Structure 1
Amino acid sequence: MVDVILGLQWGDEGKGKIVDYFAPEYDIIARFQGGPNAGHTLYVDGKKMVLHQIPSGIFHQNTVNIIGNGVVLDPVTLKRECDAVAAYGVDVRKNLFISQRTNIIVPTHRALDKASELQKGESKIGSTLKGIGPAYMDKTGRNALRVGDILHPNFQKQYNDLRTKHQVLLDNFNFTEDISASEQEFFEALEFLKTLNVINCEYFINDSISKGKKVLAEGAQGSMLDIDFGTFPFVTSSNTTSAGVCTGLGVSPRQINEVLGVTKAYCTRVGGGPFPTELHDATGEELRRIGSEFGATTGRPRRCGWIDLVALKFACMINGVSKIIMTKADVLDSFGELNVCTAYNLDGKQTQEVPFQMSGIEIEPVWKSFSGWNTDTTGIKEAASLPETMSTYIDFINNYVGAPVKFVSNGPGRDQIVRL
């Protein structure tokens, strides 16, 4: 069976640490969507490690890590990460596997991403400029190059044909940036990629399941960035929800077991787009400061606000979440009062539903206040030791969203997780 860990907000929920925490319980960790726009932060031997392409189980030597076909892969980023991981004594050629069907990000994808975002001006969506959108566009446009293609003798022609198509688009943007240096690095990275385990993933993973192996599917970004159900058009280019597991790995819906959703105890967002509970005051600044809220991929300051239960319940519904992991609960330790959003006011009417279009409309959050716990929770190991006011806060969330919070992360360390 396949269990799933995914984000329930706009990304940056702390999924990397959570996958790393659960990894010893699984035989296979598999990324099923997204690309190097994701940044999953781990702490290995006390040192910070941010993974953009490699699954977060890579530091567990007996765990197989798979990059699935739903991912878009930047070979240059992958090589850099493999080099960084190897410095910790990890042999990626032993426990990292890549689907033949995984689409490749080429240098002109990055150029197209940048050119497109520049043209949008003030209407830009906050792209990470990693080439993600153009790569997925080539996938749906049936122009993409895939990892399996690099092993074929006519790959250079395939690449040249795609580059020519891209150049026409870049000329239309009047984009003249030289990418020759990027191309040299790209082809060097392809030679490295050829030395890794390139597999027929859907057969590999289904065969493993039939033999009783436990699989954990690792999501990137967050549910509110889903191309269909997120805050369109300020979304990513893939399905970040549990439905993406099936198409991103080649497994049947019948194989999906637990869906573990990760949410912060408050909300953050990087880049543009709707954010109903965003705080433009000293409290928002304090959340950012205490939580060190800066993007793991971009370094951009994250927008901060109170938890949005309307959006969280929506995310739990569309994903079929069976358990919730709440991260960064310790960031709220010093706040005397906490607020949660329980409804939206839209045009004078109150609703607990997420509207299909959240951009360009005024959404006023309806708040419910809670007393803070004013206690350092970072050293707590047992649920019974959690402050009563913290338990009250969690219980309300449980009842509202209809899915139980079963784990609370109370610090960045691998062992700083309380099981409820």
Structure 2
Amino acid sequence: MPRSGNPRIILLSGPIGSGKSRLAAGLVGRHGARMLRTRDLIRAARPGVPEERMALQRAGAALDRTDGGEWVKTALARLLDQMSGEADPPILVVVDAVRIEGQVAAVRSAFGTLVHHIHLTAGEAALADRYALRKAAGDEGVAFEAARRQRTEKGVEKLAALADVVIETDRSNEDAVLTRATALLGLYPRSVTPLVDVLVGGQYGSEGKGNVVGHIAPEYDLLVRVGGPNAGHKVFGDPVQVYYHLPSGSRRAPHARLLLGAGAVLRVPKLLKELGEHGIEASRLSIDPQAMIIEDDDIAREEQLAKGISSTQQGVGSASANKIMGRAGMNIRLARDVPELRPYLREAQEVLEVAYLRGYRIMLEGTQGTTLSMHHGPYPFVTSRDTTASGCLADAGISPMRVRRVIMVCRTYPIRVGGPSGPMEGELSYEELAARSGIPIDELRTTETTTTTKRQRRIAEFDWVQLRRSALLNGPTDIALTFTDYLGVGNRGAYRVDQLNQTTLRFIEEVERVSGVPVSMVSTNFGWRNVIDRRTW
């Protein structure tokens, strides 16, 4: 008998060619269902029965005569007992297929409301056409008319009267059938459960997002990243890990699946190298087919931008522009056009829907910083995309209704890349910062070198107006404050809030007053155990 926590049971019925096996495969692929094939049970109960349709039909009918179909319930109960000891049992079991009323009645009697019965049907012409195209084992030499004349097969349409839903598969394509079945099972929730935490930079980028992601990544089941390789995110390790395309928690959370959304921009040689360096397999990473590809010409076109706005010259902006203009017939490539990426191609919406249905915790990692937003930054000194939380959600294909937390990362002394990169309030020298912090100037200069272009950064006083504006744009629930060692090198030895110096404690209080949200994480250094975690979630 079923116990609390047992999986849902889906009984499939319908004539030959109605699409039962395809629906079963879809439930396995999308929802991780476990399959119970009655043809396998028949051969187990009747050793020696050949893998041939007519022989299997006769053997199944003989089993039905013996106990009225109870044998299907018995096999199902055995499978559920086996699964009960698994660490991560499936939430669905699919029986492909039930053939008589007695089988349905026996399973329903034993498992009650856990059972859902889906009957598939189609017009006779459609069934015949599909049968002709089938290459199923055991169908060879058996004409459609002969298979349909078998006694049990002739009566299978009677099961439609017992089913929870009847789907005419010649009026719905394969995806529509799976969608309707999923809805029947209640796997599409009636309300949206917030499962997504978004992490964005609140300044000009290089806020230390990568290391914050590295700290919390083990808590998530799916890590998502958007943007392009014009920003490198660092995570402490031995050696230090650098991520240009991949989510920064890829190695800190080895169990988590990875996703690059449709709004990502990819440099294929750099991505393939990154995959090799971090040992990422195709089964773990999904790339949306509509992600844009950076070509050599894109990089060449951006060389002139460095003279005007200190571009990283990675071709991201040019490729993004091409994606817009390519609608008019330009010769552009998306991820779906790159042979080397085919093992990774999966539609982001399908990956995300599976994650929602399974209740996965998801982290979306933004890139660069809010003040570099194409739309909301000091144009033209901006990047080629919207870097706010809402922009990242759009690029990833995630609804705002899915958001649980928004973490905005801010550093105590914001930076901009060197050169004509645009206005920055309260710029100061490395000599002044060294005197204030107690950190040697050579160490500061080494730290403040860009990951991607290896250029020296400009540095400035904390901009309180910028903080407030970024809070308005992103609606954060939490602030992650980084580079607190710049408020005193002694903070590097702090592992609790009360060990931070008084300047830092007052700074945190004011950040919370201006932003209106708590400082939930405080980064004291770039190393192990470098984040003081004040979260309540």
Q: TM-score, normalised by structure 1?
A: 0.74
Q: 2:221 aligned to 14, 24, 27, which one?
A: 27
Q: 2:336 aligned to 117, 142, 148, which one?
A: 148
Structure ranking higher in helix proportion:
2
Structure 1 match to 2:520:
406
- Structure 1 residue 332, shift from structure 2 partner: 2.1
Tell me whether 1:213 sits opposite 2:327 in the alignment: no
- Structure 1 residue 289, shift from structure 2 partner: 4.3
Q: 2:383 aligned to 227, 236, 244, which one?
A: 236
- Contact 1:58-1:95 within 8 A present in 2 as well: no
Q: 2:315 aligned to 127, 131, 153, which one?
A: 131
Tell me whether 1:331 sits opposite 2:486 in the alignment: yes
- Partners of 2:388 and 2:265 in 1: CA distance: 16
Tell me whether 1:51 sits opposite 2:243 in the alignment: yes
Matching of residues 216-365 of structure 1 within 5 Å: 216-271=363-418, 272-280=421-429, 282-284=431-433, 289-291=442-444, 292-334=447-489
Matching of residues 20-169 of structure 1 within 5 Å: 20-32=214-226, 34-44=227-237, 46-59=238-251, 60-86=253-279, 91-114=280-303, 116-117=304-305, 121=307, 124-141=308-325, 142=327, 143=330, 144-150=332-338
SS of the aligned residue for 1:245 comes to helix
Tell me whether 1:16 sits opposite 2:219 in the alignment: no
Q: Give the aligned CA root-mean-square deviation in angstroms.
A: 1.8
- Structure 1 residue 249, shift from structure 2 partner: 1.5
- Contact 1:324-1:406 within 8 A present in 2 as well: yes
Tell me whether 1:387 sits opposite 2:387 in the alignment: no
- Contact 1:262-1:325 within 8 A present in 2 as well: yes
- Contact 1:66-1:98 within 8 A present in 2 as well: yes
Alpha-carbon spacing, 1:285–1:149, altered in 2? closer, same or farther (3 Å): same
- Contact 1:17-1:414 within 8 A present in 2 as well: no
- Contact 2:417-2:457 within 8 A present in 1 as well: yes
1:313-346 residue CA offsets vs partner (Å, 9 max, x unmatched): 1011100011000111012215xxxxxxxxxxxx
- Partners of 1:74 and 1:243 in 2: CA distance: 24
- Partners of 2:510 and 2:323 in 1: CA distance: 42
- Partners of 2:364 and 2:384 in 1: CA distance: 18
What is the number of residues matched between the two proteins?
327
Greater relative contact order (Cα 8 A, min sep 6): structure 1 or 2? 1
- Partners of 1:414 and 1:296 in 2: CA distance: 20
Tell me the amino acid that sits aligned with residue 130 of structure 1. Q
SS of the aligned residue for 1:93 comes to coil
Of all paired residues, the percent bearing the same amino acid is: 31
- Partners of 2:207 and 2:528 in 1: CA distance: 15
Name which one, 1 or 2, has greater alpha-carbon Rg: 2
- Partners of 1:76 and 1:281 in 2: CA distance: 36
Tell me the amino acid that sits aligned with residue 298 of structure 1. T
Unaligned runs of 5+ in 1: 151-189, 335-375
Structure 2 match to 1:169:
none
Unaligned runs of 5+ in 2: 1-194
SS of the aligned residue for 2:258 comes to strand
- Structure 1 residue 217, shift from structure 2 partner: 0.3
Alpha-carbon spacing, 1:304–1:259, altered in 2? closer, same or farther (3 Å): same
Tell me whether 1:7 sits opposite 2:211 in the alignment: no
- Structure 1 residue 108, shift from structure 2 partner: 1.0
- Structure 1 residue 403, shift from structure 2 partner: 2.0
Tell me the amino acid that sits aligned with residue 101 of structure 1. Q
Tell me the amino acid that sits aligned with residue 378 of structure 1. R
- Contact 1:278-1:284 within 8 A present in 2 as well: no
SS of the aligned residue for 2:494 comes to coil
- Contact 2:425-2:461 within 8 A present in 1 as well: no
SS of the aligned residue for 1:92 comes to coil
Structure 2 match to 1:187:
none
- Partners of 1:275 and 1:315 in 2: CA distance: 15
- Contact 2:487-2:504 within 8 A present in 1 as well: no
- Partners of 1:305 and 1:289 in 2: CA distance: 17
- Contact 1:290-1:331 within 8 A present in 2 as well: no
1:167-197 residue CA offsets vs partner (Å, 9 max, x unmatched): xxxxxxxxxxxxxxxxxxxxxxx53x33x42
1:205-251 residue CA offsets vs partner (Å, 9 max, x unmatched): 12211221111000011001010011211111011101123321112
